[in-house]
Amino acid sequence: MKAPRIIECVPNFSEGRNDQFIQGIGETVSKIPGVKLLHVDPGKSTNRTVVTFAGDPDAVIEAAFQAIAYAASKIDMRTHHGEHPRMGATDVCPLIPISGISIEETVKYAKKLGERVGSELNIPVYLYEAASSRDYRKNLADIRSGEYEGLEQKMKLPEWKPDYGPSGFNPASGATVIGARDFLIAYNVNLNTRSVKLANEVAFDIRENGRPVKDELTGKLLKNANGEVVRKAGTCKSVKAIGWYIDEYQLAQVSMNLTNMNETALHTAFEECRKAADKYGLIVTGSELVGLVPKRALMEAGQYFLHKQKRSLGVSEEECIDIAIQSLGLNSITSFDPKKRIIEYMLEEKKNQLVDLSLEKFIQETAADSPTPGGGSVSAYLAALGAALGAMVANLTAHKKGYEDQFEFFSATAADAQIKINELLFLVDEDTRAFNQIMEAFRLPKSTPEEKSIRKKAIKKANQYAIDIPMKTMETAASCLPFIKAMTEKGNPNSISDAGVGALCIQAAVSGASLNVQINAAGLEDEVLKKSLFEKSQNLEEKITKEVGEIIAAIKTKLASGN
């Protein structure tokens, strides 16, 4: 199961005092299908509103365009004043990849948005960060230098010709900066002190910019041949940090911006703060995340701490994230609810899913007088149970005395099994959704030739999907057998029967899904395709049946011999 393609957008608008505008900008974003408004943060002193939304990339850039258009219709920069630097009605509009999409792909969306804003709204657009067309335009502060008041003269310079839109000054809307950047994590680490000086010592040690170097004899700052102050780099790349005191908490913190998770992960920043704090007799007592965070940041942290504890990585997503929360001390000051703080969870639509039912409810739902859930969903669930038994044996063996030298192998096996479990649980509900699509297609009107044509195409498309899903179940289930077999051969001997039951679950799942492929393929008009699907499913079923038979025979031989 591929991660959904999600990007986040955080446009900053030069209006933070007009309640009608603030409400309107949120409504403009919210009405775009495929986008979820996550936060609206107005500031009166800055006269600026920051809006956060996320969703499908195409939907997000549509929402961004509509929001920029709305701001252009409501804000006149000739009368705007505020404490924050700005150069346009929509001052800056970054796109941020969250899941299932690379920064390179996100750049393409930034350029698509910039071109449309320039051509349709007649607003000059500058590209920045990863989308920048020139090195000197990467930094937002450099582009914004001179602000709105200096923009007209600045735009007359050849080097400041906009990337999109008119090259002349737009007095009402100013200019907009659009780009793509990595997710910025605002993160504070708590210290057992009220001393800002000590908190800054830790910040100097860990931030990329480090600290100025002084001459040991004179105490004066050292400078290089160009007259620049010599600095000793900190331990964390792409991290900005300062120390400050929070009166509300009665403690000092190291306040950080992590601008590139790939260079410095959340847990790395925490650990480096902990190591630096120890040098000054300090203790890290916890930490806090400001705003939302991608799931990946906490999953990586959870896996890091699990590995540090010499625990298997083959735990559920929920447990892995909980390990991260506890290890980072994210509950030390205020309660941290992952459902409200992780972007992907915020975007999830609440659905009545089969996988959310209790075992009893699932069985009774299957037994009810409705065609769903049927054999396809049950087959996927059986495969998930088989993978879960493989994960269980791997986890048990990873922590068993005498298997220390193979810990990494069993931990990695259990982690792989968790990935398969999630893929198969998705297919439990997707099989039912595929069947429902067929029913919906058959309910389409068929009064006119055009309606009949539309209905026929919809039925064909839905039927093909109803074939693809059980085929995917077969293939995913079959891919679980190698690690289950490995557990019968190398795993804890006391759990060999559990691995055997897992193999039998996989066999039943593959055979069951094969039947679903064939019953849906039976009605195909394309005889060549039909024959191909029958042969593919039957061949895979026969292969798995043979392999499982060999696994069970080997298990029975071991049990009979007592080895």
Beta carbons within 8 Å of 239's beta carbon, 6+ residues apart: 206, 207, 208, 256, 257, 258, 259, 264, 269
**Measured torsion, CA atoms of residues 471, 512, 476, 104, in degrees rounded to the nearest 10:** 40
- 267 classed as catalytic: no
CB 272 within 8 A of CB 235: yes
Give the confidence band of 47 by pLDDT, cuts at 50, 70, 90: confident
Cis, peptide link before residue 42, omega less than 30° from 0: no
Q: Are 471 and 536 in contact (CB under 8 A)?
A: yes
Rounded average pLDDT over 467-489 = 96
The alpha carbon dihedral of 7, 12, 17, 22 has a sign of negative
- Number of alpha carbons in the 13 Å side-chain half-sphere of residue 89: 26
431 an active-site residue? yes
Q: Which amino acid is at 29?
A: V
Catalytic residue, chosen from 91, 429, 431, 498, is 431
Question: How would residue 82 be classed by pLDDT, with cut points 50, 70 and 90?
Answer: confident
* Residue 232, pLDDT above cutoff 80: yes
Mean pLDDT, range 457-472, rounded to an integer:
92
**Catalytically annotated residue among 84, 307, 322, 399:** 84
> How far apart, in Å, do the first and last CA atoms of the chain sit?
39
pLDDT above 60: residue 60: yes
Residue 504: pLDDT above 90?
Answer: yes
Average pLDDT rounded to a whole number, residues 265-273? 97
Q: What is the pLDDT of residues 525-540, one digit of tens each?
A: 889 999 999 999 999 9
Residue 50: band (very low, low, confident or very high) from pLDDT cuts 50, 70, 90:
confident
Which pair of tokens denotes residue 444? 């389409």
Q: What is the pLDDT of residues 119-135, one digit of tens each?
A: 999 999 999 999 998 99
Q: Which two tokens stand for residue 488?
A: 């019968």
- Domains recognised in the chain with CATH numbers: 6-180 (3.30.990.10), 185-347 (3.30.70.670), 354-561 (1.20.120.680)
CA 446 – CA 463 distance, rounded (Å)? 18
Q: Which pLDDT band, with edges at 50, 70 and 90, does 265 fall under?
A: very high
pLDDT of residue 1: 54
Tokens 């899903």 belong to 469
